[in-house]
Amino acid sequence: MASTPSVSEFRRAKFARRLPAELSQLAGPAHGTVSLPLHMAWSGLTQFDLEQPRLKMSFYRIVLAEGMRDDLVQFLNQDLLISMWPVLRTLISRDIRDTWESTFTELAPNTTAVA
């Protein structure tokens, strides 16, 4: 008899289904103010000024946690994600972090931030 998957295994599978095939597909904005739809920003702020580091980090946390595949591609930017990852990875859930890092070698834990 097969064992029941853990909550963490369910969550990782959910996040894995949402991932783009490659980070290069992430073509979101790198600058300016971005508005998130309510299905992602359902609990508070919906507009984020990407020139403000704290708002940019909050924006990425929300999109990673709540976004579907099309949202990830539309709102995340490959270069920003890679440069922010060393800090961002400490602010998101372990399940999200492990899913992204196991799929994309560019986000491996030894990655360093780009200035």
Q: Are 113 and 83 in contact (CB under 8 A)?
A: yes
Asked if residue 99 belongs to a domain, the reply is yes
What's 18-33 look like in SS3?
A: HCCCCHHHCECCCCCE
Give the least confident one: 23-32, 39-48, 57-66, 89-98.
39-48
Q: What is the pLDDT of residues 15-54, one digit of tens each?
A: 888 999 999 999 999 999 999 999 998 778 899 999 999 9
pLDDT at 111: 46
- Specify the residue for token string 């990673």: 64
pLDDT at 53: 96
Domain count, the chain: 1
pTM confidence score: 0.86
pLDDT at 7: 77
Asked if residue 94 belongs to a domain, the reply is yes
Asked if residue 101 belongs to a domain, the reply is yes
pLDDT at 115: 39
Asked if residue 5 belongs to a domain, the reply is no
Asked if residue 19 belongs to a domain, the reply is no
Range of the domain at 90: 56-115
